[in-house]
Amino acid sequence: MTSQPVIVQPTGQGEFQVRVSAQGPSFFVDEPLAMGGLASGPTPYDLLSSALGACTAMTLGLYARRKGIPLTDVQVSVTHRRDAATGRDTFERALYIAGEFDEAQRERLLAMADRCPVGKTLAAGADIVTHLAPKTEPVVPNRPCDQTHPGAMVQACDEMDA
């Protein structure tokens, strides 16, 4: 399944600021002031970290609802670093989970976190195919919801139960 396109264009403000048009409102992505940006939005690596954290929280919530695990709160903290010697990136994910569940359920939730679709994509790597487009993509307000991620979360939950 192919997702709806996310459109990214420079705003002409600052050295790095771009506007991202995706599902819902558009938003800025930028770099910090110290790097010459306007600090008007998250950095690209902030977005990768937030995608991992959001997918983890959503997947845990879905799994808990499907399994009747009384998960009452989830917080995912993600940090990113790159090893200067190897160039390898590491995303460190810290989970806070709360609820009236036993140790076996806690371990299931921890295992489920490692099955979130974005985490699996980052861990496996992805192919990136680049080509020139004959014209710009139109920014479509109120575009249809991308169904790629919800289906991937359901599949991860199903695979966990298999």
Is the pLDDT higher at 149 or at 104?
Answer: 104
> Does the structure show a pLDDT above 90 at 138?
no
CA–CA gap between residue 97 and residue 131 (Å, rounded)? 42
Token digits of residue 40: 């008007």
> Does the structure show a pLDDT above 90 at 18?
yes
In what helix (H) or strand (E) does residue 99 lie, and over which residues does it extend? strand 89-99
Output 129-134 pairs: Cβ under 8 A, ≥24 positions apart: none
pLDDT digits (tens, 9 = 90+) for 63-108: 999 999 999 999 999 999 999 999 999 999 999 999 999 999 999 9
Of the ranges 27-31, 38-42, 144-148, which one carries the lowest mean pLDDT score?
Answer: 144-148
- Centre a 10 Å sphere on the Cβ of residue 74 and count the other Cβ atoms it contains: 20
pLDDT digits (tens, 9 = 90+) for 114-126: 999 999 999 999 9
Residue 153 near residue 116, CB atoms below 8 Å: yes
- 3-state percent breakdown (helix, strand, coil) of the chain, nearest 5: 35, 20, 40
Please tell me the predicted confidence (pLDDT) of residue 142: 65
CA–CA gap between residue 23 and residue 111 (Å, rounded)? 29
Please tell me the predicted confidence (pLDDT) of residue 148: 73
Chain length of the chain: 162
Residue 144 near residue 4, CB atoms below 8 Å: yes
Token digits of residue 22: 């995706």
Cβ burial, residue 57 (10 Å; 0-12/13-18/19+): middle
Please tell me the predicted confidence (pLDDT) of residue 149: 77
pLDDT (mean) for 14-28: 90
